[in-house]
Amino acid sequence: MSFPQQTLWGQSKAGNRVLIVSVSEFHPGVDLSKRKGVRRDNKRLHRIFCRLGFSVEMKIDLTADEIYEAFKEESQRRVSSCFVGVVSSHGEEGLVFGADGRPVSLAKIFSWFGGPSMAGKTKLFFIQACRGQELDSGVETDSAAPCEEQALSELFSIPTDTAVMYAAAPGYAAFHNPVGSVFLQTLCDLLEEEGSVELEVHRLLTRLNSRVAYHFQARGEGLNGKKAMPCIVSRLTTELFPFMDPRKTETDPSLGLALDLSATRLVSKAYKPRKNSIS
């Protein structure tokens, strides 16, 4: 049985949107540290997604209620074919924190995108936040993930035609430093590399997983050698090419296949990892 494809590169991206919600500084009295490097992430994400043809909106240092409001409004607006949501803040399993220190339920946000306005549209979420306090040493353990009930609730809230990629596995911390987050900066690296935007979205996310898992090691006191392992949850029902430049296929529709085959060869291309420091 063949897997259905939806070649988004054949459609206009004029009606497709990206919402970036990030928290860098928290209100006085909130016991959460300033997140250096957030503005670097925002600036680079904005530039790249605009170049890929998306309409991009950034919201910085929102309270919990304002984060809820921003995503609820987005879930009620129609898109041409694809919506991308980026959330960057301190977090725990199943939630992130607003600038006021109050928790924001990711399950609640995801559930809104199952409504009629987003039916049949592709929804991609990238979550840069800790999901616990464990540090990954790069070896398997028998430890069970904490907050299992909350994790399952979050999983079941993800609507059809949606993929969520987290910077960390359940129960683990996500890395961030003054030059930006490892996870989001690596996503930007891939979207700027020749051939990567032509990849089917599952392959792009898998490459992002591989790049972070195998080419990153934390440095610094108590963190030396620690690893990061992003996590993908997908309920996508078709093969998708949401970041392909439509101008490359307008003159020759068969170019889509050629580009995809070319991108396959890029998987084995040598990659020189960047040196990252951890704050």
Residues annotated as catalytic (active site), given as ranges: 90, 130
CA distance 189 to 44: 10
Within 8 A by CB and 6+ apart from 201, the residues are 122, 124, 163, 236, 239, 240, 241, 242, 243
Using the structure block, give the residue that is written with the tokens 């591989």.
210
Largest separation between any pair of C-alpha atoms in the chain? 58
What are the tokens at 20? Answer: 């970036």
Instruction: Report strand pairing: 122-128 vs 162-166.
Output: parallel
- Would you say 183 and 167 are in contact if contact means Cβ atoms under 8 Å apart? yes
- Measured from the Cβ of residue 22, the count of other Cβ atoms closer than 10 Å reads 23
What are the tokens at 261? Answer: 């085959």
Using the structure block, give the residue that is written with the tokens 């898992």.
213
Within 8 A by CB and 6+ apart from 56, the residues are 17, 18, 20, 45, 46, 49, 50
